[in-house]
Amino acid sequence: MQENQTEYRRYLRVQWQRLALVVAVLLLLYFCFRLFSSILLPFVISAGLAYFLDPLVTRMERLGIPRGIGTLLVLLAFGVAMIVFALVLYPVIAAQAAAFIANLPTYVQTIQTQLATLLQQMQHRLPPNWQVKLQDLASNQMGALVSYAGKAATNIIGGGFAVVNVVTLLVVTPIITFYFLRDWPSIIRHIDSWLPRPYEGLIRAQAVEINRILSAWIRGQAICCLVLAAIYATGLTIIGLNLGLIVGLSAGLLSFIPYVGTVLGGLTAILLSLSQNGGWHGVVSVLIVFAIGQGLNDYVIQPRFLGDRVGLSAAWVIFALFAGGAAFGFLGIMLAVPVTATLGVIARFWLRRYLQSPLYLDAPPE
């Protein structure tokens, strides 16, 4: 009996020590991010690009190309692709964005008129207090809502690039990415050498699981967003919606937040359609485009490129992105999914250990 009690106390002491170590590491990381958040953005972007491009460089290395040369070739090809993409689409996007800003007062006035007409048609069906509130929304609050949306977008952009501006990102990020990508195997080997020897197999197994989830989510979600952006942009352009290209691309690229890109893009396209056509046939066309895109995404694109390998539910992804943005701004949004995937793997591991432990299975000794 005394031996069982001693073993039980030893087990509890070890578990509390491990928990204290995990909490200490998390607190250290939190304070480091708080302290250096203003300068971490190019390093986080570079690490993400290196992680994304490493499989391609590794394949080139297996073909006999030195890793430094392979890294340079991959980054050059990636940069050329981005420049070509920007040169092809930038004039159209810039023109549509300028047109949107120039015509914004007209859009707001047209939407107000449309809402007023709709309220007049529905007047006999609504209670009097609803009529007053909706009329106030149509006549007075629309401009305030647009102004609030503009300020929110400005704050998001300003928060992300207040200290590390775009020029710095364009200059520093490729350099850091080159060194990260060239030295990626060496970095992994050094981290592996620091693992405590009794637990190296266990930790390595969890790292492999984290890598599996992250690679599936990041690469799969990138493909899904690009395909959705192409579908929405093409569909909105075909139905003749002004600014259809920029709205479709934005909706597709924002779809890494589940359903948020579709909802925001759909609402924006509907409002633009009302201001452009003055009728509901354009709204129906917009709804058809977004219904087709979301249907393809749910039943064809995501099952093909994401499937059920990811282990990240849509609710957790949305929560993580909003929580990361609230805690660390743009940097937190970029780190939200990797951190959530890591914590999810660790939580599932400790839950399995707990369900197999004496603390769960055995009664406490008397």
**Cα atoms found within 13 Å of the Cα of residue 290, Cβ hemisphere only:** 25
- Here the tokens at position 147 are 């102004």
pLDDT given at position 347:
84
Residue 311: DSSP 8-state: -
Residue 222 pLDDT > 70, yes or no? yes
Cβ 241 vs Cβ 286: under 8 Å: yes
Q: What does the pLDDT read at residue 164?
A: 43
| 220 found inside a domain | yes
Mean pLDDT of 146-160: 50
For residues 49 and 135, membership in a common domain is answered with yes
Pick from 8-17, 115-124, 143-152, 289-298: least confident: 143-152
Q: Which domain holds residue 46?
A: 40-185
Q: Please list, in sequence order, all residues whose beta carbon lies within 8 angstroms of the beta carbon of residue 172, skipping any fewer than 6 positions away.
A: 42
- pLDDT at position 232: 93
- pLDDT band at 159; cut points 50, 70, 90: very low
Instruction: Tell whether 132 and 162 lie within a shared domain.
Output: yes
Question: What was the pLDDT predicted at 209?
Answer: 86
CB atoms within 10 A of CB 161: 15
Alpha-carbon distance of 259 to 225, in angstroms, equals 11
| Rounded Cα gap, residues 45 and 41, in angstroms | 6
Q: What is the mean pLDDT of residues 137-148?
A: 56
- Residue 1 belongs to some domain of the structure: no
Average pLDDT, the chain: 77
Q: Which residue has the tokens 């080139």?
A: 60
pLDDT at 73: 94
Task: Say whether both 341 and 281 belong to one domain.
Answer: yes
**Of 37-46, 166-175, 241-250, which gets the smallest average pLDDT?**
166-175
Residue with tokens 């589940």: 258
Per-residue pLDDT band for 304 (boundaries 50, 70, 90) equals confident
**Assigned domain for 75 exists:** yes
CB 117 within 8 A of CB 147: no
Region 94-115: what's the mean pLDDT? 69
Average pLDDT over residues 316-340: 80
**At which of 185, 217, 245 does a domain end?**
185
What percentage of the chain carries pLDDT values higher than 90?
A: 11
pLDDT of the residue at 329: 74
DSSP symbols for 126-137: S-HHHHHHHHHI
Give CA angle at 140 (134, 146), nearest 5°: 100
In a domain, 209, yes or no: yes
Report whether pLDDT(314) > 80: no
In contact, 229 and 251? CB cutoff 8 Å: yes
Domain presence at residue 31: no
Return the structure tokens found at 296: 């393809």
Which residues, including other chains, have CB under 8 Å from residue 260's CB and lie 6 or more apart?
A: 254, 318
Q: Among 209, 177, 77, 66, which residue's Cα sits nearest to residue 58?
A: 66
Q: Are residues 219 and 307 in the same domain?
A: yes
Using an 8 Å Cβ cutoff, are 275 and 107 in contact?
yes
| pLDDT in the model for residue 289 | 92
Q: Which of 84-93, 227-236, 335-344, 346-355 shows the lowest per-residue confidence on average (mean pLDDT)?
A: 84-93
CA dist., res. 7 & res. 10, Å (int): 5
Co-location of 220 and 275 in the same domain? yes
Q: Within 10 Å of residue 347's Cβ, how many Cβ atoms? A: 10
Give me the number of domains the chain comprises.
Answer: 2
Q: What pLDDT is attached to residue 163?
A: 42
Instruction: Tell me: pLDDT of 170 over 50.
Output: yes
Provide the pLDDT for residue 5. Answer: 65
Residue 108 to residue 138: CA distance in whole angstroms:
10
Domain boundary, last residue among 142, 159, 185: 185
Q: How many CB atoms within 10 Å of residue 249?
A: 23
Mean pLDDT over residues 184-194, rounded?
87
The runs of H, that is alpha helices, within 140-199 are 142-161, 166-182, 184-193
Q: pLDDT at residue 149 above 60?
A: no
Identify whether 58 is part of a domain: yes
- Whole-number Å distance between alpha carbons of 281 and 284: 5
Query: Using one digit for the tens of pLDDT, what is the confidence trace for 254-294?
Result: 887 777 788 888 888 888 887 776 667 788 899 999 999 98
pLDDT number for residue 274: 77
Given 132, 152, 185, which residue is the final one in a domain? 185
Banded pLDDT at 66 (limits 50, 70, 90) = very high
Residue 83 lies in a domain: yes
Assigned domain for 275 exists? yes
Give the integer Cα–Cα distance in Å for 9 and 139: 70
